[in-house]
Structure 1
Amino acid sequence: MRELRVSVLPPYNFDLVLDRLSLDPLNSVDISSRTVKVPFYGEEDEILEVTATGTTDDPSFLVQMEKEDRGNARLDYLKKVFQWEGTLQEIHQHFLDTDLKDIFTEHSGTPVVLEFNPYSTLMKSIIHQQLNLAFAHTLTQRFVHKFGREKDGVWFYPAPGETAILDVDELREMQFSQRKAEYVIGVSKEIAEGRLNLQELEKKPDDEILKELVKLRGIGPWTAENYLMFALGRQNLFPKTDIGIQNALKKLYGMDRKPTLAEIDEMSEAWSPYLSYASLYLWRSIENRK
């Protein structure tokens, strides 16, 4: 086991990061030891263990790796996933002059942590479409437990090629709808057969990525925006059709109804160019946390 010490710029609240990661039952999180085990998708499945050793104002981490990190591929991956480069101070300061001041003060130092794999981000988003969060997690868990892989308590999503050859009935048996099963298999085929190259897609600007993704059956604006935020870490996305966002805004402004899309546009105007952070912190404001 290789060990590495990492320091990042404050503020950075890893306890709130773990709190949110723990909402997904597929994540291997230990709140008491301030540790998360991260799946690393390479030629072989590996586990990277990240433990917080510092505070919000002096953040530091112990990273444990199974193999030597030649070329810093594993560390670079963790830096990207946990947004360890740069500082949240400028973003935090931006929101202190907006209607989100109190929410940003409560959740100060929470980064937009990425999902652990771009392909799994797409699969999770498609599965979660139009479902309540509890059943969405249950359905995703069934999918990964049946077709993915487990190593030392850490779950890895199946590869695109493995999902592409599934039969719709295999997913229907898990309570997938007919269409959702078709979407999961169809998008996986696009990737497995090379028509959708996620590595090449990452190099493009937001608007081009959105246009390319929504061409695929089963991927609408909500899923595409989630991909930009949680697979690529783009900072200025605001999925205004998301029910959670709408409910958070209803709560924030004390409304007796959900805001209209036009009202949401007006509300969120001052939050650019960090709309992804506005989205995350609004979700945090209504999540049932442990």
Structure 2
Amino acid sequence: MLDLHRLTLLHRFAALGSIAAVAAATGYSASAVSQQLAVLEREAGVALLERTARSATLTEAGRRLAGHAATVLDAVEAAEADLARAADDTSGRIVISTIPTVAVAVAPRLVELSGPRVVLRQHTDDTQALDRLRAREVDIAVIDTWRDAPPPPGLVRTRLMVDPVVIAGPVDHSTWLVAPDDQPSRRVAEEVMAELGVRPDSRWEFMGLATIAGLVAAGVGAAVLPRLALRHADVPVTPTDRSRSIDAVVRAGSRTRPAVGAVLAALAAVPSVP
């Protein structure tokens, strides 16, 4: 009989990619995680990991068993959600990972919840947040989508709001501020700026839309930003025909859990910025 706890560790390894990441997510030491996966290998009777001095990767058998582990864990989570729904139980700990510009907007709604115990974390990398969602490190990932894209495989996405993209600050400003070129907002910003015939100031790139919004509010420059990033910035804005969507993503097995539903309802009730 394969142990459910050890299957969970294998599933997290498949999602997070390293023993160190699994250890950080679970609170165990890396050696403890490695030992538990070695025990699972003995239970399965096949090698699940290909180990080197510095890293480990899944073997073909490891990938197959990780896939089965995901199915098993989804079924367990769905069973737990069904029992909670039958009891109308909205209690429990719900971990949310959200982008910083949304965190400030949703926090007041979350503190009004009386059932779930909510932990709000922030991320700047949606891919990493979705990996942590699949690994069951978080229960809800709030992400932004700058281009139309299919739902993440194996997950359920709910549209929370459409956030208009605007030009913040004077359109004739001599300095235009942007995020680093590996950020999804950068491509949209460059498209809008190209239509205006302006270029980003090559001296600076700033991680964090709230940081750029603060600089615009201080008069340092102009920028192309989503309206939500300007929630607390008093600056002139000019509309564009672009927008981003704000989506909440959950695992299929947990979406009927009352506590998850209560948090999703609170997130969906957050008013957008006109």
TM-score range, shorter chain: under 0.3
What TM-score do the two structures reach when normalised by structure 2? 0.24
- Higher RCO structure (Cα 8 Å, ≥6 apart): 2
